[in-house]
Chain A
């Protein structure tokens, strides 16, 4: 007999975990299907001597390199940027850096304010109560009073220490009169329950045996309400079943590779901007030949990544950047907004990042690799422990040719078509990157760097998978409404970063999760929380 449920959530990553938890908290009957399994925090390679090697092989954020059995391949041969993600309970938060900014109020009104992209059907203030729930669930360290945002609730845990590199950069920002602030980080700086304060070890992306760095397997899934959810792991959904205008369930391959079917009153998709678009396209049927929920032809389109450049300063003094959370110290939003004199619209976030262990420094994971040949050792020792970097994380605007489609040839291990990514960095983003590189050069010079190296596009920085199932009020130009509800199938919801209309220039996860929580309230007909402003 086929089993059935009220809400079937696909994907237990950042968004799916938050949505499933909220649905369960509201009393709904929830089943979650996740193609990966559990990753025990104490299985992190950061406890072993081979940690750096694992990071570049078995634990690489690129599924095409890692090739874990939970993964699916992605054809990125037509893309300037390679997508990075993880497939497990916790999703990509198993690997993420936990830099936890919110999009800004103006990011939701880019069309009205700057004449580009589109406005969202919801605002920052609509999400505000849900940002707050999510902050409590994930655990956020930070410092109150960032002038770049409307006031946020008091950060209970203190911000992370800056480290030597960011201290230099912060002082340079002060001299140049530029904004900077310690980042909100989804990292504990104080013990709470079984989550211990961060011990500054460095490679957050390898997982955190102390559970200091949040990932949804140790946040949402350890909460009491999650115990009411039926979670089926190693279950790869192959198709969402539908009849005209309604979804009825899904088919999936279980851990033994056997095909299964499950019926559902509602399906909630949280497979991320690539996984969700893939599944919608795979679920084409007679009544929707171009893919499920795709009467607008927007499924898979408008893929946005946040193209990123990296400017690295080499300092004569030791910066010890191998200590401390790699992605989290300070950021600057000095050049975030449009300025007509610059020849481009919108702007960039400058995120200071720490450095790496010996192998990461040599390979130059995101920076340039150390030179090979006669100058190798000199180059290595001038860099190792002596660098600090600043990203240019640029605004990425929606363009319909940047998209996810189905590969006609590449398949996963179950024979299901793999996604294909076609993505080109836009002229506007390229101008932002070039401008930001020059700004960051100036900052690092002011900070005392004696050598500056630039990666003008970090092709492996495809961490943010956004825009491929955009929300909007008009069914002709959007896939879902402001609550993630499909215009074509009212009992199908999408709650991951695919629903972003525009993406600002900030890391998206806290906004993705706030959207998922709000959508969950609407699915069960609960009162939508309102901002207290």
Chain B
């Protein structure tokens, strides 16, 4: 059973939901552009539960995808007030998949200089500790109490 069938909402609604959480902006892609809905749903269920996700989605109107961003945001916030755990799970899964996606990491690297490779084995240079920074701290009197 696909995730669409599982919750009785269309792929268009799922996409609108993702676009609401992380919309496209200039050359930054929306969550809907990079996230597979089946992967998202699997992760959300693992973090929450099928029942709760169903209840959460049940609060969204059928025409959710045709509403504008601010209307969709306020509907999601309302649903999140009733089922905060589910909104958190949805956000967690969306951010997790989005910010692990190679295309997104490439854009972050271009914009910030961050290296999207794994932290190991290369790491970053370990600069020497500069003890001159302690010029003031070393002048302090002892600040522990001798209990004897």
Residue among B94, B102, B120, B130 having the largest count of chain A Cβ atoms under 10 Å:
B120
Interface size on A, residues (CB 8 A): 69
Q: Would B124 and A324 count as touching, CB distance under 8 A?
A: yes
The verdict on B6 contacting chain A, using a C-beta distance below 8 Å, is no
The verdict on B65 contacting chain A, using a C-beta distance below 8 Å, is no
Q: Looking across the interface, which residue of chain B has its beta carbon closest to that of A161?
A: B127
Complex contacts, B105 vs chain A, CB 8 Å: 358
Q: Would B73 and A147 count as touching, CB distance under 8 A?
A: no
Residue among B22, B119, B126 having the largest count of chain A Cβ atoms under 10 Å:
B119
The verdict on B44 contacting chain A, using a C-beta distance below 8 Å, is no
Q: Would B145 and A105 count as touching, CB distance under 8 A?
A: yes
Known A113-B147, A167-B133, A179-B137: A44·B120 in contact at CB below 8 Å? yes
Instruction: Report A420 CB to chain B, min CB distance, Å.
Output: 20
Q: How far is the CA of A369 from the CA of B140 in the complex (A)?
A: 38
Q: Would B95 and A170 count as touching, CB distance under 8 A?
A: no
Instruction: Report B108 CB to chain A, min CB distance, Å.
Output: 5
Q: How far is the CA of A182 from the CA of B99 in the complex (A)?
A: 32
Known A143-B131, A148-B144, A333-B143: A52·B123 in contact at CB below 8 Å? no
Q: Would B145 and A47 count as touching, CB distance under 8 A?
A: no
Q: Which residues from 73 to 94 on chain A have a C-beta closer than 8 Å to any C-beta of chain B?
A: none
Complex contacts, A123 vs chain B, CB 8 Å: 147
Q: Looking across the interface, which residue of chain B has its beta carbon closest to that of A167?
A: B133
Q: How far is the CA of A359 from the CA of B145 in the complex (A)?
A: 43
Q: In the complex, which of the residues B100, B120, B141 contacts A46, with contact meaning CB atoms closer than 8 Å? A: B120
Known A44-B120, A324-B124: A106·B147 in contact at CB below 8 Å? yes
Q: How far is the CA of A203 from the CA of B118 in the complex (A)?
A: 10
Q: In the complex, which of the residues A53, A149, A160 contacts B96, with contact meaning CB atoms closer than 8 Å? A: A53
Q: Looking across the interface, which residue of chain A has its beta carbon closest to that of B92?
A: A363
Q: How far is the CA of A346 from the CA of B142 in the complex (A)?
A: 18
Map CB proximity to B onto A351-386 as digits: 1 under 8 Å, 0 otherwise. 000000111001100000110111011000100110
Complex contacts, A4 vs chain B, CB 8 Å: none
Complex contacts, B141 vs chain A, CB 8 Å: 147
Q: Looking across the interface, which residue of chain B has its beta carbon closest to that of A49?
A: B118
Q: In the complex, which of the residues A50, A174, A197, A369 contacts B100, with contact meaning CB atoms closer than 8 Å? A: A50
Q: Would A113 and B145 count as touching, CB distance under 8 A?
A: yes
Residue among B22, B95, B104, B146 having the largest count of chain A Cβ atoms under 10 Å:
B95
Q: How far is the CA of A528 from the CA of B147 in the complex (A)?
A: 21
The verdict on B3 contacting chain A, using a C-beta distance below 8 Å, is no
Q: Would A49 and B142 count as touching, CB distance under 8 A?
A: no
Q: Which residues from 193 to 209 on chain A have a C-beta closer than 8 Å to any C-beta of chain B?
A: 197-203, 209
Complex contacts, B134 vs chain A, CB 8 Å: 143, 145, 181-182
Map CB proximity to B onto A227-256 as digits: 1 under 8 Å, 0 otherwise. 000000000000000000000000000000
Q: Which residues from 93 to 142 on chain B have a C-beta closer than 8 Å to any C-beta of chain A?
A: 94-96, 98-100, 102, 104-105, 108, 111-114, 117-131, 133-134, 136-138, 140-142
Complex contacts, B130 vs chain A, CB 8 Å: 161
The verdict on A431 contacting chain B, using a C-beta distance below 8 Å, is no
Q: Looking across the interface, which residue of chain A has its beta carbon closest to that of B138?
A: A145
Q: Would B145 and A337 count as touching, CB distance under 8 A?
A: yes
Complex contacts, A105 vs chain B, CB 8 Å: 144-147
Complex contacts, A189 vs chain B, CB 8 Å: 126, 129
Q: How far is the CA of A52 from the CA of B130 in the complex (A)?
A: 31
Complex contacts, B138 vs chain A, CB 8 Å: 145, 147
Q: Looking across the interface, which residue of chain A has its beta carbon closest to that of B139?
A: A147
Q: Would B28 and A199 count as touching, CB distance under 8 A?
A: no
Map CB proximity to A onto B71-89 as digits: 1 under 8 Å, 0 otherwise. 0010000000000000000
Q: Would B95 and A180 count as touching, CB distance under 8 A?
A: no
Known A150-B144, A376-B21: A161·B126 in contact at CB below 8 Å? yes
Q: How far is the CA of A159 from the CA of B122 in the complex (A)?
A: 21
Instruction: Report B16 CB to chain A, min CB distance, Å.
Output: 13
Q: How far is the CA of A359 from the CA of B91 in the complex (A)?
A: 12
Q: Would B142 and A147 count as touching, CB distance under 8 A?
A: yes
Known A104-B144, A150-B144, A181-B137: A358·B127 in contact at CB below 8 Å? no
Instruction: Report A317 CB to chain B, min CB distance, Å.
Output: 12
Complex contacts, A336 vs chain B, CB 8 Å: 143
The verdict on A423 contacting chain B, using a C-beta distance below 8 Å, is no
Q: How far is the CA of A337 from the CA of B146 in the complex (A)?
A: 13
Q: Would A373 and B73 count as touching, CB distance under 8 A?
A: yes
Q: How far is the CA of A346 from the CA of B50 in the complex (A)?
A: 46
Known A147-B137, A179-B137: A200·B124 in contact at CB below 8 Å? yes
Q: Which residues from 371 to 424 on chain A have a C-beta closer than 8 Å to any C-beta of chain B?
A: 372-374, 376-377, 381, 384-385
Complex contacts, A143 vs chain B, CB 8 Å: 129, 131, 134
Q: In the complex, which of the residues A322, A337, A363 contacts B114, with contact meaning CB atoms closer than 8 Å? A: A322
Complex contacts, B120 vs chain A, CB 8 Å: 44, 46-47, 199, 201, 209-210
Q: Would B124 and A199 count as touching, CB distance under 8 A?
A: yes
Q: Would B143 and A147 count as touching, CB distance under 8 A?
A: yes
Q: In the complex, which of the residues B21, B28, B129, B137 contacts A373, with contact meaning CB atoms closer than 8 Å? A: B21
The verdict on A51 contacting chain B, using a C-beta distance below 8 Å, is yes
Q: In the complex, which of the residues A203, A337, A358 contacts B108, with contact meaning CB atoms closer than 8 Å? A: A358
| Top 5 A-B pairs, shortest CB-CB distance | A199-B123, A201-B123, A109-B147, A201-B119, A359-B99
| 6 pairs, A vs B, C-beta closer than 8 Å | A200-B125, A358-B105, A374-B70, A376-B21, A384-B112, A385-B114
Sample of 13 more A-B contacts, CB < 8 Å, known A52-B99, A148-B143: A105-B147, A106-B144, A145-B138, A167-B133, A198-B123, A199-B123, A209-B120, A358-B99, A358-B104, A358-B105, A377-B28, A381-B112, A384-B112
